[in-house]
Structure 1
Amino acid sequence: MRTARSRLKRALGLGTFLEPATFADVLDVQKRQRPLSSLRDYAQALAYYAEYDAFQQVEGIDEALGEAEAVEQAAAREAGVGAGIFASFDLALNACPEGQIKAAAQRVARLLEIPVGEALARCRALPLVLGEALDRRRAQAIKDDFADIGATLQVQGFKPFPWMEAPALR
C-alpha cells in the first residue's frame, strides 16, 4: 500500500536521493570549500555525490583542510553568510543600565565561565562579545536573559546560504 507521501513523490517524479545526514554532509563540505557557492553549485555537489559516492573536490582547495582560503571565508562573512549550514548568531553586550551592572556581570560570568570580578571589569568596558556562531535557540536564550535586566545586545544574524535572507531573533 502506497502512502500519500510516496504517491506525491511518484507524481512529482521524485525518488529517494540521499539519506538526510549524507545530504547535510554534502552541503557542509561544499560550503567549507566555497562558502559563497550558488544553488547550482550545491546541486552539482549533491549530484556528484549521488553518482560517485564521494565528495566533489573543488579546484584550489587544500585537500588536507578541505576549507576555502581565509580571504574567501572573510568575504562570505562580510556578505552575511555564516560558517555552517544553519543560521547562526553573534551576540555582543553594548549597553547596560547603570543600576544593573552587577546583574549583567553575574550573567556574563556565568555565560563566559569567568570570575565575577573579571566580568564586572568587562561590563564596564563595553562592547563585550557574548558569543559567536551560536545557534538560534542558544542566542535567543542569552538575549532573553539579558533583556530581563534591560541590557542591550547587538545581534548579528548570519544566513546559511547566500541566496537566503538574514535571520533574526524575536
Structure 2
Amino acid sequence: MTDEPPPSREFRYTLQKPEAVGVRPPRDKASQQCLAAFIEINGFRAYTLFDSGSTTDSVSPQTTRIAKLPYFTLENPVTLQLGCVGSHSQINYGADIVVGFAGKAADTYVDVVNMDRYDAIMGARFMHKHGICLDFKTKSIIMDGRACPALMVGEETAVVNARRGPPRPKKAAE
C-alpha cells in the first residue's frame, strides 16, 4: 500500500503539426438548421431555440425587458460553460416564467443569459420535463404527440434581420 494520490483524469492535449492542408466541405443551410419556434412568454412571442445539448433554459436580458418579466439576483451565481475551452460567462439572474407552447402552459425557471440570435433557449431540462422530441427529418418539435413545425431557414433569417433592424448606412471614405 502506498499513500500516493490516485492519478488525475485531467489532461491537456496539443495537436501536432498537420501533415497536409485540406478544405472544409461546403454545407447547405438546410442541413445545418437548428430547430427553433416561437413560444409565448408573458404575452411576448419569443424566438426560441430548442437545444438538447443545453443544460439550462434561458432568456435574454432583452426578453426580460420586452416581456416585462420579474427577475431576481441569484444568491450563488453560476458559471455558464460553453462548448469551447475558455469560453464561459456568469449567470447572475434568474426568473420564474410561464411558457406557452403547443397549446400548453408550463411554469419554468430560466436563467437570464446574454445571447445573440435568440430570445430564449429551451434546453434538455425543459424538454425532458415536457416530453419534447426534436424531429430533424420532418423539421418539427413534438410535444405530447403534437408536432409543431420549426421555423424554416428563410423564416429564421427574416426574424433575425427584423430583430436587428435595418442595415446601417456605410460611412463614406474620406
TM-score range (shorter-chain normalised) is under 0.3
Query: TM-score with structure 2 length normalisation?
Result: 0.23
Query: Which structure shows the bigger proportion of residues in helix conformation?
Result: 1
Query: Which structure shows the bigger proportion of residues in strand conformation?
Result: 2
